[in-house]
Amino acid sequence: MSVRPWIVDDDLWALIEQLLPPWPQKAPGPKPVDDRLCLQGILYVLYNDVSWQLLPLELELGFGSGQTCWRRLGRWHEAGVFEKPHRLLLAELHAADALDWSRACVDASHIRAKRGEATGPSPVDGGKTGSKHHLMVTHRAGTPFKVITTAANVNDVTQTLALVDGIPPVAGKPGRSRRRPDALVGDKGYDSNPNRRELCRRRILPVISRKGAPNVKGLGKLRYVVEQTFSLLHHFKRLAVRWERRLDLHDALVSLACGLICWRRLKRIRA
């Protein structure tokens, strides 16, 4: 990884630049900060978990003010700028046969949070305010398909179908875009007969342990990949503790992080 990972390389910028909404030609005020520098400012906050107000203004970085980058983050999220690269990169990985559709794995992880949207008392942190990341990844590589942020006291099982249905259509090969894994792996927190029926209706085999019964054989090895991806996701320090009160801004950073994880894997394949 680069010593300064927030510096956007030319290939990644070429992918993102084409997705940015145009700036109004007759916008009032001074000339806006360059989009690439704003993106690097957002990445600096994502990697280092500094307050937006403390974003460095050194000439060699040139991010502009933290308020500028914060506003650009919201504007770009509304335009779907961070979700589209994630979907395009999934398509590139699919074309390179780097997505394992035989199984998808689901799990959830608690994070501390300020008060705001999608926060609640955490059952694993003494009732302190927190949120929860619900994650679905591919088998083996653990490439993130979908992340949903909820209050910390939301049961994992309630997000199963939302994660499945939230997988974006993944192109990259001839024929229809793919949206469904062959099987879904989960622990006892996802035990639900209605969900099993819905998964079967979607032609997905539920591999989910039942409460009061032994775990599915080899479940630990199957679920290791999702734990590994949580580690990668929360390596972005801004996501390990949620500071954004607005859920849309937090989700924008989550989508950006998922895209960066996919980008790293695609670069390793191309190397």
Domains of the chain: 10-78 (no CATH), 101-242 (3.30.420.10)
pLDDT of residue 59: 43
Structural element, H or E, at residue 234: helix 219-235
Instruction: Report pTM.
Output: 0.91
Q: What is the pLDDT along the chain (271 residues), one digit of tens a residue?
A: 456 888 888 999 999 999 998 877 666 656 678 889 889 999 999 999 988 888 887 644 666 678 888 989 999 999 999 999 999 999 999 999 999 999 999 999 999 998 889 999 999 888 899 999 999 999 888 999 999 999 999 999 999 999 999 999 999 898 899 999 999 998 888 999 999 999 999 999 999 988 877 776 666 766 788 899 999 999 999 999 999 999 999 999 999 999 999 999 999 998 7
On whether the CB atoms of residues 113 and 103 are closer than 8 A, the answer is: no
How many Å apart are CA 70 and CA 247, to the nearest integer? 14
On whether the CB atoms of residues 152 and 125 are closer than 8 A, the answer is: yes
pLDDT of residue 67: 85
DSSP 184-219: EEE-GGG--HHHHHHHHHTT-EEEEPPTTSPPPTTH
DSSP code at position 153: T
Helix (H, G, I), strand (E, B) or coil at 237: helix
Q: Kindly report the length of the chain.
A: 271
Q: Would you state the structure tokens that stand for residue 225, as one six-digit string?
A: 């990949």
pLDDT of residue 236: 95
How many Å apart are CA 200 and CA 211, to the nearest integer? 20
How far are the Cα atoms of 131, 167, 179, 202, 204 from residue 197, in angstroms, in the given order? Answer: 28, 19, 18, 9, 10
